Amino acid sequence: MVVEKGQRLACFARGPAALHSFEMPPWINLPNLFTLVRLALAPFVMQAVLRGRPVTAFVLFALAAFTDYLDGAAARRLATATQAGAYLDPIADKCLLSGTFLALAAAHSVPWWLVAVVFGRDLFILLGVVLLVLLTPIRKFPPSIWGKVSTCVQIGTVSAWLFRDAVGIAPGKTLSFIMLWPCAAFTVWSGLDYAWRGAQALRLRAKQCA
């Protein structure tokens, strides 16, 4: 009886520690929640574009794009940046932007050559990452400044085309066509910048192995 009572007291004493073990894992935080919202909105934006609902597509895309700002701001403000977030953020960006570009091209809005440039650059970077993973111990691939600029320009380009389709006024049409060229230019340039960074990493690895 005394032993049983002692065991109950011991369990009660361990209560806070036991509760502590049920805390959320570090990757479940506000910035990553915003990222997951952006990822979840991507198929709905595509669906709205393909079903000919430009206003809905524009509103959903604007909301998704705003979460890109919110997750970064929240991570800096709350100091809750995680490795999971570093992987999820670019994946969410690629799903949203590449998916919307593809849907706009399928809806005969954005020209297919721009989609080829965007997808070609992403595949080029993916192959480079695979090469670095196979040949070097590098496992972290932080975005470059040109990669961030390219993402911002792509967001602006998609927004301009969705706005054009939603409103249909002449200035919107002019702006959307103008945005094609800086979008293509920054997309290609960012791909070249990543290629140069990858070549530098391979060259450094070769020197270390020599």
Residue 127 lies in a domain: yes
Residue 21 lies in a domain: no
Residue 14 lies in a domain: no
Give me the number of domains the chain comprises: 1
pLDDT in tens, 15-33: 544 445 556 666 577 878 8
Q: Residue 38 — pLDDT band, cuts 50, 70, 90?
A: very high
Q: Residue 98: which CATH number?
A: 1.20.120
CB atoms within 10 A of CB 156: 15
Lowest mean pLDDT among 10-14, 92-96, 138-142, 149-153: 10-14
Query: Percent of the chain, pLDDT > 90?
Result: 48
Distance in angstroms between the alpha carbons of the first and the last residue of the chain: 72
Predicted local distance difference test score (pLDDT) of residue 22: 54
CB 45 within 8 A of CB 60: yes
Residue 23 lies in a domain: no
What tokens were used for 125? 């970077």
Which contiguous run of DSSP H or E holds residue 141? Answer: none
Identify which of 40-49, 138-147, 200-209 has the greatest average pLDDT. Answer: 40-49
Predicted local distance difference test score (pLDDT) of residue 26: 63
Residue 92 lies in a domain: yes
Of the candidates 144, 30, 23, which has an alpha carbon nearest to the alpha carbon of residue 85? 30
Task: Give me the domain span that covers residue 174.
Answer: 28-209
Residue 128 lies in a domain: yes
Q: Which residues contact 38 (CB under 8 A, 6 or more apart)?
A: 64, 65, 67, 68, 71, 92, 93, 96
- Predicted confidence (pLDDT) at residue 40 exceeds the cutoff of 90: yes
Amino acid in the structure at residue 42: A
Residue 12 lies in a domain: no
Predicted local distance difference test score (pLDDT) of residue 14: 52
